[in-house]
Amino acid sequence: MNQTPIPGTWQVGDDPGHRQFVELKGDDQGFALESGASLPSVTVAFETWGQLNSCNTNAVLVLHALSGDSHAEGPAGPGHVSAGWWDALIAPGAAIDTDRYFVVCPNVLGGCQGTTGPSSLDADNIRYGSRFPVITIRDQVAVEAALADELGIETWAAVIGGSMGAMRALEWSVGYPERVVRAVVLAVSAAASAEQIANCSLQIRAIRSDPNFANGDYYASGARPSTGLSIARGIGQLSYRTEQEFDVRFAREVQDDESPLRGGRYAIESYLEHQGAKLTRRFDANSYVTLSDAMNHHDVGRGRGGVTEALAMVSARVTVAGIASDRLYPLKQQMEIARLLPGDNEVRVIESEFGHDGFLLETDAVGAVVRGALLD
């Protein structure tokens, strides 16, 4: 394969870790997308834990957020740069009990960890790059539904996700009501707000403005738009955390012995640079653009008469939870979802100093919400 390796992107010949792969063909025209474009086929990378029972009724779908992947549980090692992003929740006896459930976590359409995305090779062995089509949350869920068909899973005992993963959990509940018994949606809105679109759009602009981006066709150049991706991650990090946490952790402290008056950095600047550098080592900039754009298109009411009519179609038992300090997806948005769902629903409020990232970091509180939802 005469392609420049992409840090963080799974490629043929790399150690796939615990990933499994399936190629989905769609119909005769391939996978039709909401944009009107199509993909001839889609490869999906996924991981599983536990055993599927004889009736195929104990499957739980766990869905990752923007920069996550299929490695929801397990140690860092070959094929996996970091440990599972929900390690504490997926294990024997844990909130998502692998002695009881067959747990599936796929890498999302448009991603860069094994599932078809902009860094994938097309039929001519050329990376898609700028030719990768616009995708939506609904397109991603359609691929996940095809994966479920391939695995022989007609109905999910539960679909669970936070942030972008919760967008898909909500879309599953609206678009495939007969296939979802329970759902847990954490820290999300029913449709992207103007502020959320603005936040993602600034991150996209930061990446596209990097001279190395080359309109998305940078793969053969040996250069990467790392600066743009790092800045995008910094913008995102501001919305993921809270002012209070930053004041407590960093205040106006300087980084080591540096002097900001002489070109040195404040500690918060170093932190944001560090977060950006970590992401550039494991994530593809085009995927970040593609997935951020998909989040901007998130709207469960599109083509369904609006959010109110769409959520009224849900038949699953949905648990809605939010983070009290979340400034990216504030609690009022989860309250709207709960109010519009059938029945009498209340939002489970998780207290946290970490803001939006609380859905990843407050594992005890989040685990209690998930455990309660699965036992309901």
Question: Which residues participate in catalysis according to the annotation?
Answer: 163, 326, 356
Q: State how far the Cα of 106 lies from the Cα of 62, in Å rounded to an integer.
A: 8
Q: State how far the Cα of 297 lies from the Cα of 284, in Å rounded to an integer.
A: 20
Q: State how far the Cα of 50 lies from the Cα of 305, in Å rounded to an integer.
A: 39
How far, in Å, are 174, 235, 311, 333, 334 from residue 342 at the CA level? 12, 36, 8, 16, 14
Dihedrals φ, ψ of 181, to 5°? -85, -45
In this structure, what DSSP letter does residue 197 have?
A: H
Strand, coil or helix: 86: coil
> Token pair 């743009």 is at which residue?
228
How far, in Å, are 6, 7, 123, 217 from residue 126 at the CA level? 14, 17, 7, 10
Residue 46: name the closest of 105, 116, 86, 96 by CA: 105
Look up residue 366 and give its amino acid.
V
Q: List the structure tokens of 189.
A: 């809105």
Q: How many CB atoms lie within 10 A of CB 130?
A: 13
